[in-house]
Amino acid sequence: MTARSFRLPRIPVWIWYMLPGLLVYTAFMAVPLFKSLQLSLYTGSGFQIDTFVGFDNYRRLLTEGEVSQRFWGAFGHTWVFFAVHMIVQNSLGLLFALLLSSEAIKGRALYRTIIFIPATLAIVVTGFLWKLLLNPQWGAVNLMLEAVGLGAFAQPWLGIEGVSLVVISLVSSWQWVGIPTMIFLSALQAISGDLFEAADIDGASSWTTFSRIKLPLIWPMMGVVAILTFTNNFNAFDVVFAMAGANGPPNYSSDILGTYFYRVGIAGEHPVGIPDMGLGAAVASIIFVVLFVGVLVMRTVFQSDGTDD
């Protein structure tokens, strides 16, 4: 007791500045995360998760009938969801950034403002709005296709297996394209104008300027964007929930890890609604591991390539 009270003043003063934030962060973020890993080894009903079952929840998820079928489905769909964002959202972002970085374009500020608007909307709002627009009977999308003579392409977009997931991913890309645009734009604008002038004098084509000068300089930013896309997509839930529902219809084809986690660990399956929290925790732990490994891998990929040149 006395020893401790002697030591007290010796605690560096900065600890006291850090402590409140650190405590809240630890108690409500770090601890729940790690407890989730632990919880995944238990089973029970409702909040009484107290029977230790080892890796049984993981065995069920990875190998057992219906459960594993849903899990692997959701796992695969999450990668598709991620891939569409990487390809569509990030390429468009890069394209817009390249266009906007040219001094000669008038109205840059206006374009920039508009491109970024969707990013400020709530994901649920975007989801509900697009759900209405994609409605097969009254939705604007199909009516527009008909108006321009492409009525044959009108589809029940959210009702077809395989199509639905891609459409949802595209809507989500529509929403978030402003983020990579701005990141790339700030990287491009940081590139010194001298470089381009020099290239211009050398008579370099615009492709050469892009691939030889701009690309290597924004390569590290691509890493940032890729990691950001990755973490956001493996964590996604709202957009599928709003557009398709917690089951990821049709036939679970737009079910992603976020919706699966919600169904299994939190809400329970309709209409009985009894969650299996141990199994849910196992899903969460797998998401955790995928994110952790994925981010590490991406960091090395983009860092090493960036320093090679």
- Residues with Cβ within 8 Å of residue 44, at least 6 apart in sequence: 50, 51, 277, 278
Q: Measured between alpha carbons, how far is 55 from 73 in angstroms, rounded to an integer?
A: 21
Q: Quick one: 2 or 116, whose CB is closer to other proteins?
A: 116
Buried b (16+ CB within 10 A) or exposed e, 110-142: eebeebeebeeeebeebbebbbebbbeeebebb
Both tokens of residue 200? 């211009």
Q: Quick one: 104 or 148, whose CB is closer to other proteins?
A: 104
Nearest-approach distance from CB 212 to other proteins, in angstroms: 18
Residue 20 contacts other proteins per CB under 8 A: yes
Residue 11 contacts other proteins per CB under 8 A: no
Nearest-approach distance from CB 167 to other proteins, in angstroms: 10
- Residues with Cβ within 8 Å of residue 33, at least 6 apart in sequence: 288
Of 55-94, binders to other proteins (CB under 8 A) are: 65-67, 92
Nearest-approach distance from CB 114 to other proteins, in angstroms: 5
Of 233-292, binders to other proteins (CB under 8 A) are: 234-235, 237-238, 241-242, 245, 247, 249-251, 258, 261-262, 265-275, 277, 280-281, 284-285, 287-288, 291-292
Which range, of 73-81, 108-116, 188-196, 209-217, touches other proteins by CB under 8 A?
A: 108-116
**Residue 223, Cα to own-chain centre: how many angstroms?**
14
Residue 39 contacts other proteins per CB under 8 A: yes
CA angle in degrees (0–180, nearest 5) for 132-134-135: 65
Of 136-155, binders to other proteins (CB under 8 A) are: 136-140, 142-143, 154-155
Contact with other proteins (CB under 8 A) among 100, 168, 218, 222: 100
Q: Quick one: 124 or 215, whose CB is closer to other proteins?
A: 124
Q: Measured between alpha carbons, how far is 250 from 303 in angstroms, rounded to an integer?
A: 40
Residue 207 contacts other proteins per CB under 8 A: no
Q: Measured between alpha carbons, how far is 235 from 55 in angstroms, rounded to an integer?
A: 23
Residue 195 contacts other proteins per CB under 8 A: no
Contact in structure between 245 and 231 (CB atoms under 8 Å): no
